[in-house]
Structure formats: C-alpha cells, structure tokens
Amino acid sequence: MLLACVFWLATPYARAQSELIATAAVGSFATLPVGEALVWLEENHVENPKGFHEKALLTLDRAYRTGDAQLTAEAHRVLMRWHAYHVPFTIDSIYHHGEIAIRLFKQVDDQERLAATSGQLAFEYVDANQQERAEALVFDAIKIYEDLENRQGLGNAYEQLSSIFLAQGEPELSIKYGLQALDISGEAQDYQNVSETWLVLLLAYTEAEQWQKAIHAGDKCIETIDLHGLDDDFNLARAYGYRGDAHAMLENYAQSLEDNVNSYAIVEAKIGAARPAAKTYRSGIGRAHYLMENYAEAIPHYEAAIEGYVEMGQGSQLKMEKIYNEVADCYFQVGNYHQAYLSQGRAYGVFDTMMQNKVTNLQSEALVKYESGKKDQAIEEQATLIAQKDRIQLLGIGLISLLLLFLGSLFYTLQRNKRTSTALRAKNAENELLLKEIHHRVKNNLQTVSSLLSLQSESISDKQALDAVQESKNRVLSMALLHQKLYQGESLAAVEMRDYFETIGKAIIASFGERAKDISLRVEMNDVELDIDTAVPVGLITNELVTNSIKHAFARNQKGEIVITLGQETDGLLTLNVADNGTFAPSDYPSKQGGGFGTLLVRLLTTQLGGKLERETVGGTSTVIRFPLQVKSAA
C-alpha cells in the first residue's frame, strides 16, 4: 500500500493534491486513505505545515482502527521523526513513538524499516546520555543489514555508530567505525553517505588532535560532494569550516581564512546573508583574522556572528564566552578600550546567566509562595537596593580607566601565558611521538634479527647448534616484546610486567612445538611496572628460566606447569620466582658453579640488578631472585 502511495505522489497531479492536503482542515484529512495520509506526513514532517501534529495523531488513531500493524508502525515512526526534528514537547515523546514503532516492525518482520528506525532512534538516546541503549540499537541495525546483505544500509549504520562515539567523546572509536563506513559505502557507491562519513571523521580527527588527518578528511568530503554533484550545500559549508579550524591549529592561518570564507559564501548563497544561521558562519572568518592578528578585520565578522547567535536565542550559551573574549581582545588591540570592556562584560555575563538559571531552577514552589506573600516588603527592599547600586555605580565611574588598564594588562599576560603553554604541550606531544617511534623501530629491528635467526636455523642440522639459535631467537624476542609494550602502553617510562610475562611465556612454550604441548603457564602477581633498564634483564632472566624448565624439568609428553611471580616484599626488595613442578633433575639450572651459557647469563644479569639468586628443588624446581627496585633520577 505504501509503495503505491509513493508512486502516486511522484505524479504532477499528486503533487498538486499534496499541496491541497497541506491546506485542508483536519476533518477533510480524515477522508484520505491511511496509506496516502502516511506518505504525505512523511514528505512534510520537516516542513511542519499548520495542523501537522493533529493530522498525524488522527492518522495514528485511524491506523490502530484498521488493525494493520504495518500502518500503525509507520504512523509511530513519522511521529517519532517529527518530535525529534521540532521537539515541541519533552524528548520522552520521541522514545515513546520510536520504541513502539520498533516493536511493531519486529511483529510484521519488516527488517528494512526496523533497521532504519533503530538507527534514527539511537541518535536521540545519545542526546539523553543513554549510551547503552543507543549502541544496542545501532548494533541491532548493523546485524539486520548484514543478514539482508544490504551494503548501503550497513554503511549508513556504521556512519551512525561513528557519530554516536564522537558525541560520547570517544574519537578513536569514532574513527574506527567511520573508516569501516567509508569502505562499505564506497563499495555500494553511496556517495552521499561517503561525504557525510568524511565529515564525521573530520570532527573525530580534530577531537583526537590529529590535524593533518582532519584536513585530509575535509579534502575528501569536499572532493566527494563536488565530484558526484551532491546537493548537500550545508555539509559542504561545514566541511570547509571544520577544515579551516584544523588549519588554524597547525598555524596555517591564511588557509584557515580561505576555508572559512568559502564556507560562509556557500551558506550566504543558499539562504542569504540576513538569516541568523548564515551570520554564525562568520565567526570562523573572524577567528582566522584574529589568529593572523588582523584585529580590525576580525571585529565586524565576530559582531555579525554574535548577532546571529543572539537572534537564534543562543547568545548566552557557554560557547559564546570564547567569542566574546576574543572580540574583546580585538577591541583592546586596536585601542578601543571601552568596547573591549563591554565585550569582556558580555563574556562574564554568559557565566552569570548560567549561574542565575541554575539558581532559578532550584527554587522550590514553597519558596515562590512565600515570596509572593511578602511582595510589598520585597518591592521596598528592592528599591533600596537599586538606590544603593546607583550610588556605587557613580562612585565607580572614576575608577573605570584604571580598571580597564589593569584588565588589559592582565588579559595580555594571560593570553601570552596561554600561547606559551600551548607551545609547550605541542612540543611534549612531539617528543612523546618521537620516543614511541624509536621504541617501535627498535622492536622492528629486533624482530628482523629474530627472523634472520629463524632463516639461519632452517639450514642447521646439528641439534645443539639448532637449540642455541632457537634460544638466541627467544632472547631477542623477549627484548623486542619489551619495546612493543612500551610504545603501545600509556607510559613510555615503564613496562607492565604481568601482561609481559604472560605474553613472553606463551611465546616460549609455543616455540618448542610438540615438545611443550602439555606444559601450561600461570602468572600469579599483581600489576607491577618496571623501567626499561630493569625490565630488560628481568625479561631475559625469565626467558632463560622458563626455557630451562621446558628443556630439563619435564619428560616428553609429561604434563606440567610453570609458575611466574614478581612482587615487592616488606623490606622493599623485589622478588622474582620462576618455579615448575617437574620431576627431572635439571642440568642447566642456575647454580653457584658450572652450567652452560644460560646459567652464566642469569648470574651476570642478577649481578647487574644487584640481586641474589636462590634455588629450591622440593616438589619441582624454584629459582628465586631478590633485587632492589631501581630508582631513576629525573633527567
């Protein structure tokens, strides 16, 4: 029924009829077939003609009377979208209609509509900070599209998931799912969703402070819209504006100015310069001039943007504080101290307004009634207070010039300190990135050495030589893993040893193949972090002791267990214990005399740590090394 109605609306006669429907009274609307009424509501829920809500509720009632679950679900869906777009009441109305629509689409097994409605409703749950429900709905949509092999719908769902994680302040996850959306939508040739996904990625890379990638995402968004002739002027304007912000963070101020000028030009051509929304796009132009220290040129753009935000009822929002502060600095730099003072006052006013709103919202009904009963007394007190304020204001006029001078000096100092702090943070981030790259390259080089040893071992027939090469390979891998943990971890100064022991122990067991298939590893310890100078010898010691246990403590096909522990005792010493429950007498365990290269290496590394080595052979073999915690002085 709905498909027939869509075809009906595609004809010129139908479009004329649609215009008549828009102007028809609610009573006349009731004579339309329910399917045709739903199609008209879907076409007009954004424009919201007069009487739309009444017609939608009437159609919902008629759909229920038909007993057709499909029509009823469509009626709830269109009401959900209308409430979401216009928010005439509380947002609970969105969830009410959306959840019923989802239940009914499940009932009639309309998987396409179910997936689309789930994705749309997920965005509304994000706004209400109900993240779990939002994610569940999007993942439901993804599963449906995968089952239906609908690549276009799947790409849209991943783009929605990317937007949700961006709204949650998780740019890394937003980037992950955004890249998946690009691949899928590109294959489906859904270039509209490709452009929208690039726009989300632009914001996600900006949030993650990956400025070059943000600029690249902006380039691709603009390129996609232009190349495929998409009618998407507002996303094109946003792409230019957001890309301009990224250029500004890289101090490419001229390019930032050019992008923001292009952004405003698109919006101006689309809706005209007088519209408040168009004026707000001039804030980017003003900021670019401000960063280029073209203060006089920045002022008219800032003022136009402020005017637009005020006309839209957003003049007191928190984001306006930054604009007011920057325009105040512009006025100060050009010597207009009076306007600088007024603009700074507007910035303070934003904060004051927010605090006053909070206080107002906390007023109880009992307090309001009490104040009403005392209104005469309150009026007299208010009049007295106003008179006192007038006198204070007159006395303060003589101090304004000194106050302006003080505020100007303070503002300049704060701005200078802010720029210095920004530069230091950028330098620290650069150094951290370089250090991670160093650890990454060291790890890669060590893995190359390990690969060379593996290649060499293929041409060795002598068992002792082959074992020696394998042990050398394990030693190299133990050091490579340490550098990998450093550049992957949150701290570049220390390695978390519990995870390291589990990873290297399993790798050593795996390297022995069938010989160690019945040997298991257990790590019993709390999280312990060691600096790299301590972690390297501890890692090598552990490698040798685990290798020795596998080689000498267990007979072939004998089940066994190796236990590794590391902790700090009450005397401050660190204790490393590698134990096995094997029954064979070890021939190469660390001892005070004799032993092979592995034993010598363990003794030398223990000495390097300033520690002592002990060994017990009750119920297996346990090697204990106690050594002091190394304390590094700040460099």
- pLDDT, average across residues 66-71: 94
Q: pLDDT tens across 494-521, in order?
A: 888 898 889 888 888 888 888 888 899 9
Q: What's the predicted TM-score (pTM) here?
A: 0.49
Q: What are phi and psi of 530, to 5 degrees?
A: -125, 145
CA distance 572 to 585: 33
Whether residue 162 sits in one domain with residue 74: no
Beta-carbon contacts of 202 under 8 Å, excluding residues fewer than 6 positions away, are 214, 217, 218, 221, 239, 242, 243, 246
- Nearest Cα to 251, choosing from 463, 419, 431, 461? 419
Whether residue 132 sits in one domain with residue 92: no
Could you tell me the CATH number of the domain that includes residue 148? Answer: 1.25.40.10
Q: Which of 62-76, 356-370, 496-510 has the lowest mean pLDDT?
A: 356-370
Whether residue 126 sits in one domain with residue 75: no
The confidence band for 447, taking pLDDT boundaries of 50, 70 and 90, is low
86 assigned to some structural domain? yes
Whether residue 214 sits in one domain with residue 121: yes
**Bigger pLDDT: 367 vs 430:** 430
473 assigned to some structural domain? no
Q: Is 276 exposed, middle or buried (0-12, 13-18, 19+ CB in 10 A)?
A: middle
Whether residue 105 sits in one domain with residue 24: yes
**Bigger pLDDT: 164 vs 11:** 164
- pLDDT, average across residues 177-195: 94
Given a contact cutoff of 8 angstroms between Cβ atoms, the answer to whether 628 and 573 are in contact is: yes
Whether residue 81 sits in one domain with residue 97: yes
Residues comprising the chain, all counted:
635
Whether residue 557 sits in one domain with residue 568: yes
Q: pLDDT tens across 365-422, in order?
A: 333 344 445 445 555 666 676 677 667 777 777 678 778 888 878 888 888 888 877 7
Whether residue 215 sits in one domain with residue 153: yes
Q: Which of 259-268, 464-473, 527-536 has the lowest mean pLDDT?
A: 464-473
CA distance 322 to 409: 19
- Nearest Cα to 403, choosing from 344, 347, 349? 344
- Mark which of 94, 109, 124 sits at the end of a domain: 109
| Residues facing 495 on adjacent strands | 530
358 assigned to some structural domain? no
The confidence band for 340, taking pLDDT boundaries of 50, 70 and 90, is confident
CA distance 523 to 501: 7
Domain residues for the domain of 539 are: 515-630
- pLDDT, average across residues 517-536: 89
Other C-beta atoms lying within 10 Å of the C-beta of residue 85: 13
The confidence band for 8, taking pLDDT boundaries of 50, 70 and 90, is very low
pLDDT of amino acid 3: 35
- Mark which of 59, 83, 109 sits at the end of a domain: 109
CA distance 321 to 251: 22
Total tally of structural domains belonging to the chain: 3
Outline where DSSP puts E strands in 506-620: 519-523, 529-531, 560-568, 573-580, 612-616
Could you tell me the CATH number of the domain that includes residue 610? Answer: 3.30.565.10
pLDDT of amino acid 196: 93
Whether residue 57 sits in one domain with residue 42: yes
Given a contact cutoff of 8 angstroms between Cβ atoms, the answer to whether 578 and 539 are in contact is: no
- Mark which of 79, 109, 139 sits at the end of a domain: 109
Q: Output the average pLDDT for the chain.
A: 81
Whether residue 119 sits in one domain with residue 73: no
pLDDT of amino acid 188: 92
The confidence band for 618, taking pLDDT boundaries of 50, 70 and 90, is confident
- pLDDT, average across residues 456-460: 70
521 assigned to some structural domain? yes
377 assigned to some structural domain? no
**Bigger pLDDT: 305 vs 555:** 305
124 assigned to some structural domain? yes
412 assigned to some structural domain? no
273 assigned to some structural domain? no
Site of tokens 């923001």? 260
CA distance 561 to 549: 9
Whether residue 525 sits in one domain with residue 612: yes
- pLDDT, average across residues 232-245: 92
Q: pLDDT tens across 198-211, in order?
A: 999 999 999 999 99
Site of tokens 């038909």? 66
